[in-house]
């Protein structure tokens, strides 16, 4: 029943959000196109619930890689603003509307990580991934991977509408304050390489 209500809330929030934010979304499309050119969107295959692959959509924030450049070198001025304000995530409202994501849930990570998870870490895929989540309001990209997985699985076991409201409100606060956007000196979260000690072990 909770999941049905959660899905209904996802549909309502994403629908209303897309309508109300449409002037902003259109404006950002024009800005990205004018300053950075095509493509406007960054579309990448990510694992969703039970590891099912979907195409996540965000505003593009980086230039094409030349092979030797770092993420820091590739991010554009417009992209830096979009990331620091989290505006680059807004197109994911369409993923929520389609049922591929939820407003709140574990963030969808890279497909290449799937084979690196242990059974405990893979539990983050028991529910739909989210635009924001429990890990995001408790450190976001400033967290070490082990702690991030622990928070994601805790949310899977304890998610509720009340908790989702709390996460959404704290997310808005973090976005306004621009807290924990990246991991200590890196543009994005450092890469997960697996082989971590199980978070249940002492």
Q: In order along the chain (202 residues), what is the average pLDDT of each group of 10 residues?
A: 82 97 97 95 96 97 80 88 92 97 96 94 96 88 86 96 94 75 51 61 34
Interatomic CA distance for residues 46 and 54, integer angstroms: 6
Supply the pLDDT for residue 174: 78
Supply the pLDDT for residue 173: 85
Tell me the residue length of the chain.
202
Contact by Cβ (8 Å): 82, 28? yes
Q: CA triplet 144, 148, 152: central angle to 5 degrees?
A: 175
* Sequence spans of domains, the chain: 2-177
Q: Is the pTM of this model over 0.95?
A: no
Query: Residue 166, exposed/middle/buried by CB under 10 A (0-12, 13-18, 19+)?
Result: middle
Supply the pLDDT for residue 68: 73
The alpha helices in 47-144, defined as continuous H runs, are: 71-74, 77-84, 92-97, 119-122
Supply the pLDDT for residue 179: 62
């Amino acid at each position: 029943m909770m999941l049905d209500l959660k899905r209904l809330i996802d549909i309502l929030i994403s629908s209303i959000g897309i309508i109300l934010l449409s002037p902003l979304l259109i404006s950002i499309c024009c800005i990205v196109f004018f300053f950075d050119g095509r493509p406007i969107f960054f579309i990448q295959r990510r694992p969703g619930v039970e590891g099912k692959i979907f195409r996540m959509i965000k505003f593009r924030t980086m230039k094409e890689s030349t092979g030797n450049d770092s993420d820091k070198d590739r991010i554009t001025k417009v992209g830096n603003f979009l990331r620091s304000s989290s505006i680059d995530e807004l197109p994911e409202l369409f993923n929520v509307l389609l049922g591929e994501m939820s407003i709140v849930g574990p963030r969808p990570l890279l497909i290449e990580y799937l084979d690196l998870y242990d059974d405990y870490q893979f539990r983050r895929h028991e529910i739909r991934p989210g635009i924001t989540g429990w890990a995001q309001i408790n450190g976001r990209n400033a967290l070490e991977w082990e702690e991030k997985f622990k928070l994601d699985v805790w949310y899977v076991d304890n998610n509720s509408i009340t908790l989702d409201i709390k996460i959404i409100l704290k997310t808005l606060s973090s976005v306004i304050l621009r807290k924990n956007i990246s991991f200590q000196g890196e543009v994005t979260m450092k890469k997960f390489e697996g082989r971590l000690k199980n978070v249940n072990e002492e």
